[in-house]
Chain A
Amino acid sequence: MIINMISSGGGSVPTQTKTATPSSTQQTVTPDTGYLLSQVTVNAIPYTETLNGAGGYTVTIG
C-alpha cells in the first residue's frame, strides 16, 4: 500500500530511525504511523561487571 502511494502521487513518505536495546525478551521494531523505517540501530547487549563483597565480579546481562 505504501509503494502505491509513492508511484502514483510522486510525494515522499517521511522516514524515521529507531534504536533498540537487546533484552532477555523478544521485541519488534516498527515505524510510527505514516513513517517508514530508514534505519534501526541495535545497541550492544547490556553487560556490566560490578565488584561484589565476596571479592569477585557480578556480571549482569540485559
Chain B
Amino acid sequence: MATYTILPSSFTAGSGTVSNPDRAYTDTSSATYASVTVPNAGNMYLGGFDFSTIPSGYIISAITVKIKWRKNSGQADYYAKLIGKSSGTDVALSSDLTSQYPMATSTFTLTESAATVASYASTLAINFRSSSGSPQGRIYGVEVIVTADKPPVNKVVYGGTTLVDLTSDTVTAADVLSGATFHLASGAQDTGTCNYNCNTSSDTTTAADVLSGKTFHLADGNQSTGMCSYNCDTSSDTATAADVASGKTFHLANGAQATGTASGTMSSTSATGSSVDCLSLSFTNLSCEPSWFAVVITSNYNYDYAPYVCSIVYDGATTQVRAYVAGNRDAGGVYPVATVTVAYSNGTLALSNPEDQGDYIYFGNATYTLYYM
C-alpha cells in the first residue's frame, strides 16, 4: 500500500477573479494564498490534478481531499465542492463545504467511492460558487491524497514455462461457500458468499420416490423431478383390521399396509335389563363396532309395564325403535319419533333412554339379543 499526494495545477476564475493562482498549487501546509472573488455563476474551478504519479494498474482504495481556505472577514459565505466532468457537465463527487473565517483546513465528504472519484482523475476539480453576490476569500492549498495498492501477482512464468496462472479463472464469491477464502482471476483474495451447502452424495432418493412434479436433488447433485403418483394422507385414518373385511388390504394411519379381519358374518350377543324400569342396556364383548344392528326382545317380557322396547334397528344412518304398549302385547307400533341414545366404545354397545316425545320407553328386565355386523 502506498500513498500519493496530488496537488492542483490550474485555476479557472470563470466570471470571478483569482489573484496569484499559483499560490494555491500546493498542499494545506502553505501559509501563502490565492485571493479569490467567487462568482455566483459557479464557473470557478481549481483543478489540474495529475494522477500519473500513480503507477498504471494500481488499485486505488481510498481518496481524501482537503482544502485550506477561508472567506474574508465580513464577507458572505461561499461554497466548495469536488466535481468531475462528464460530457462537459459537472458531476458532484462530494457534498458542499461552507467557507469559514478565520482560515481552516476542511476535508471533503465524498459521495462516491474512491474508484469512481479516481475515474474522473483527468477532470477532477474544486468548484467554487457563492449563493449570491461575489464574496471574497483565500485559497491556501488543496491536496488529493490517494491510497493505492499494487495489484497482486496472478501469473508466474519461469524459463518460458508457466508455473501459476489465475488469469483465466472464472470463480466469483457467489460460487464459493460462505466464509471460505479463495483467489480471484486478478490474484486478489476474496471470501465466498454462497449459502448453498449440502452433501447429497449418499442420498438414495430416486424420481420414483418423490411425488410427481416435485423437484429434488439426486446423489450426483443434479436436480430431478418426482414421478411418484401415490399421494394420500392416512395419518388421521381410524380403520383397524377388525373394521375391514377379512382378506382385504388397506393402509393404517401410520401408512403401513394391513389386512382386514372382519368376518362379514353376523354376530350376536345378549343383555338383560336390570329392573322393570330399566332405561339402559349394554351389550359387551362385541368383535367390532357395528355398522348396523338389530336388537330384539327375546324373553321375560313384562306385559304389565309399558311401554317397553320391542326392537331397535340401526341401518347405519337412523335408529328405529319399536315398542309394545301396556296390556296389549300385540299392539306394537312404531313410535315415529321414538329415539334411543346409542354409544359404542371398546367392544361395548350401550343403548339408553329410549323415549317418545318425552315419554320413557323401558327395557325393563327383559332379555334382548343384539344382532350386528
Contacts and interface: CB of A to CB of B under 8 A. Distances in A.
Contacts of A56: 151-155, 166-167, 185-188
A41 interface: no
Nearest to A51: B57
Size category of the binding interface on chain B: 20 to 34
A10 interface: no
Contacts of A54: 154-155, 166-168, 185-187
A12 B158 CA distance: 43
Interface string A38-62: 0000000000010111111111111
Contacts of A62: 158-160
User: Interface SS of chain A: helix, strand, loop or mixed?
Assistant: loop
Contact of A61 (B158, B166, B168): B158
Contacts of B168: 54
Nearest to B187: A56
B158 A52 contact: no
Contacts, number: 68
Size category of the binding interface on chain A: 10 to 19
Contacts of B186: 54-56
A53 B56 CA distance: 12
A60 B185 CA distance: 18
A7 interface: no
Nearest to B164: A59
Nearest to B167: A54
B174 interface: no
A48 to B, nearest CB: 9
A24 interface: yes
A54 to B, nearest CB: 4
Contacts of B155: 52, 54, 56-59
User: Interface SS of chain B: helix, strand, loop or mixed?
Assistant: loop
Interface in A4-62: 23-25, 49, 51-62
B156 interface: yes
A18 B116 CA distance: 53
A49 to B, nearest CB: 7
A25 B158 CA distance: 11
Interface string B160-198: 110000111000000000000000011110000000000
B167 A52 contact: yes
B157 interface: yes
Contacts of A24: 158-161
Interface in B21-67: 56-57, 59
B159 A59 contact: no
Contacts of B159: 23-25, 61-62
A53 B155 CA distance: 11
A51 B56 contact: yes
A9 B318 CA distance: 146
Contact of A57 (B152, B158, B185): B152
Interface string B132-165: 0000000000000000001111111111110000
A60 to B, nearest CB: 5
A52 B154 contact: yes
A49 B153 contact: yes
Given A24-B159, A54-B185, A59 B166 contact: no
A51 B187 CA distance: 12
Contact of B153 (A23, A25, A53, A57): A57
13 contacts: A25-B159, A52-B167, A54-B154, A54-B166, A54-B168, A55-B185, A55-B186, A55-B187, A59-B153, A59-B155, A60-B158, A61-B157, A62-B160
Interface of B: 56-57, 59, 150-161, 166-168, 185-188
Q: Ordered nearest first, which 3 A-B pairs have the shortest CB separation?
A: A24-B159, A56-B154, A55-B186
Given A55-B59, A57-B154, A58-B157, 5 more contacts: A55-B57, A55-B187, A57-B155, A57-B187, A58-B155
